[in-house]
Amino acid sequence: MRRFLLFLVLVVMTGLRAATDEYRPLYHFSPKQNWTNDPNGLIFFRGDYNLFFQFNPFGDKWGHMSWGHAVSRDLIRWNELPVALHEEHGIMMFTGSTVFDEKNTSGLCNAGGCLVAIYTGHTPETKTSPALQTQNIADSNDGGRTWTKYSGNPVLNLHLTDFRDPKVFWSRAGDEWVMAVSLPNDHKVSFYGSKDLKSWKHLSDFGPAGATGGQWECPEIFELPVDLDTSQRKRFVLKVGLNPGSPQGGSGEQYFIGDFDGTRFKNGNPPGLTLLTDHGKDCYCALTFYNLPAGQETIMMGWMDNWDYAAELPTSPWRGQMTIPRTVGLRTTPAGVRLVQAPIPNLQKLRTEHIHFAGRSATALNQMLARSSIGASQTYEIESTVESGEASDAEWRVLVGSGSYTAIGYSHASKSIFVDRTRSGEVGFSPKFPTRTAARVQLDGGRLQFRILVDRNSVEVFSQNGEITLTNLVFPPRNAAGIELLSPDGAPIQADIWKLELK
């Protein structure tokens, strides 16, 4: 009898596991098990893209924060390695960045330079003392596999409870290392300078500006050409996370475009202007890869999640994942210079089964889609242009099951592009999950352009050639196999739909 019971328990557990594991994305990074949040220390080094990430080695809830580690050669297939940097002596490893100290400015490197991680050490509060956040460094002389924490840590201590997420880069203008680090409750990014990564002097503060809901976290700063024109002066993008209280609810991110002269960031836009990096609910604490080969486009990747419900996601044995890595650029638009994003080009190598449609009948396209097996894969990409004009609605429905679907479309009433996941499947685990997120848009000649990535439990939308992105998690039923377009009769449609597979 006891054996039978044990057998029953095992059968039920395996069933549960299969039911939740089905959400695990195919071409997005998620750890094999346990909790993850922000990407950390993204760096390209000797052929490897290194992804470190906030990780709990002991469970699927936030806690014991350490830096997990995965490497990839193509930014799609990730090889998860042992935890790189552990919580130690009661100090958690919070978010930070990694640089290549080629010239051994830190004195911590062997010949040829080393990687130096700059991170926040978080000491939780006790009955007698408040929490403490300080900036610390660690070095790796084997390409990020093993690390030694610096014996002189912390390298920056203001004795504050909230002071975190250092992003360090080499400033040519300042001829030194510069750290952008957040003062979350003041809605400020502080800049510090250093010649050796060990002693830091205060340079300036930026903020408050733009949106000031919740706390400011995860600052990131990088330089980009405008319109891919390298003869023009480059501009700096300063990105900062807002949590909670972002315009979409919970966690979200905004960016500023301006100049950094080695000491100070100057916002090129009015201080009241809020620009969002993503209009969905699930792109947070994005970082760019440091040390990319000269000439390669900047690549950014975020945590595809939201603190509103991150602890409740119905996945197991892992919880948390990253967005698709995106190339980022600056484009001149009628409204001014704006950040644009596109999935990394390598993603196209995953394209297999394909449908191409050019015509004026959504019904004809939908019949082709119904005959194909692309939808059933739940891992696919749609690229489309619908010329339905500004006075009509148009809408894609993906992951369509009986009574469930995720809608991606244009609403002429609100002049906005939206993603509606209120009927996307499993939505009841948090009242903050079933949402419709939207971004106002001026359609270019009435033309609605989409690139949509579907990967089992996520829908990432790049619209109007990457000027608007909406990133959202979804938890559809396994049999949600449909793809449909709703558009006015006679509107010209161009559509390509590919199944995406790891070959």
Q: Per CB under 6 A, does 283 bind ligand FRU?
A: no
Is residue 290 close enough to count as binding ligand FRU by CB under 6 A?
no
165 binds ligand FRU per the rule CB under 6 A = yes
Applying CB under 6 A, does 217 fall inside the site for ligand FRU?
yes
Burial class of 72 by CB neighbour count within 10 A (0 to 12, 13 to 18, 19+): middle
The alpha-helical segments, DSSP class H, found in 398-501 are none
In angstroms, what is the minimal distance from the CB of 302 to ligand FRU?
10
Nearer to ligand FRU by Cβ, of 55 and 192: the residue is: 55
CA 49/CA 126 separation, integer angstroms: 38
**Residue of the chain from 75, 183, 218, 350 that contacts ligand FRU (CB under 6 A):** 218
Sign of CA dihedral 344, 349, 352, 357: positive
Can you tell me which of 155, 283, 285, 459 binds ligand FRU, judged by CB under 6 A?
285
Rounded to whole angstroms, how far apart are CA atoms 371 and 365? Answer: 10
By the rule CB under 6 A, 65 interacts with ligand FRU: yes
Query: Cβ closer to ligand FRU: 27 or 147?
Result: 147
d(CA 377, CA 373): 7
Active site residue 205: no
Structure tokens at 335: 């409204």
Told to check if 240 binds ligand FRU by CB under 6 A, we report no
DSSP bridge pairs for 437: 419
Nearer to ligand FRU, 113 or 166 (CB): 166
> Are the beta carbons of 412 and 393 closer than 8 angstroms?
yes
Amino acid at 44: F
Distances (CA, A) of 483 to 233, 330, 347, 355, 411: 44, 32, 20, 12, 19
Nearer to ligand FRU (CB atom), residue 27 or residue 284:
284
Q: How many helices (H) and strands (E) does the chain have?
A: 3, 34
What angle is formed at CA 313 by the lines to CA 477 and CA 17, rounded to 5 degrees?
60
User: Which of 164, 397 has the CB closer to ligand FRU?
Assistant: 164
Interface mask toward ligand FRU for 401-430; x: CB under 6 A: ------------------------------
In sequence order, the β-bridge partners of residue 9 are none
E-strand ranges in 46-175 read 48-55, 66-72, 79-85, 92-101, 114-123, 132-140, 148-149, 156-160, 164-171
Alpha carbons within 13 angstroms on the beta-carbon side of residue 451 total 17
Least distance from C-beta 60 to ligand FRU, angstroms?
14
- Total residues contacting ligand FRU by CB under 6 A comes to 12
Taking the complex as a whole, the smallest distance from the CB of residue 95 to ligand FRU amounts, in Å, to 3
Q: Which of these is catalytic: 38, 60, 165, 308? A: 38
**Beta-carbon count within 10 A of 60 CB:** 19
Q: Give the shortest CB-171-to-ligand FRU separation in angstroms.
A: 23
For the chain, give the longest Cα–Cα distance: 78
Tell the smallest beta-carbon distance from residue 218 to ligand FRU (Å). Answer: 6
Beta bridge mates, 301 = 287
- Closest by Cα among 341, 348, 355 to 384: 355
Interaction mask 76-115, ligand FRU, x per CB under 6 A? ------------------xx--------------------
Among 34, 37, 56, 469, binds ligand FRU (CB under 6 A): 37
Shortest distance in whole angstroms from residue 28 CB to ligand FRU = 18
Of residues 120, 306, 384, 424, which one binds ligand FRU by CB under 6 A? Answer: 120
Instruction: Give 253 or 420: the residue with its C-beta nearer to ligand FRU.
Output: 253
Measured from the CB atom, the residue of 37 and 254 that comes closer to ligand FRU is 37
State the burial class of residue 501 (Cβ atoms within 10 Å of its Cβ: 0-12, 13-18, 19+).
Answer: middle
Instruction: Report the nearest approach of ligand FRU to the CB of residue 96 (Å).
Output: 8
Catalytic residues: 38
Which residues bind to ligand FRU, rule: CB under 6 A? Answer: 37-38, 54, 65, 94-95, 120, 164-165, 217-218, 285
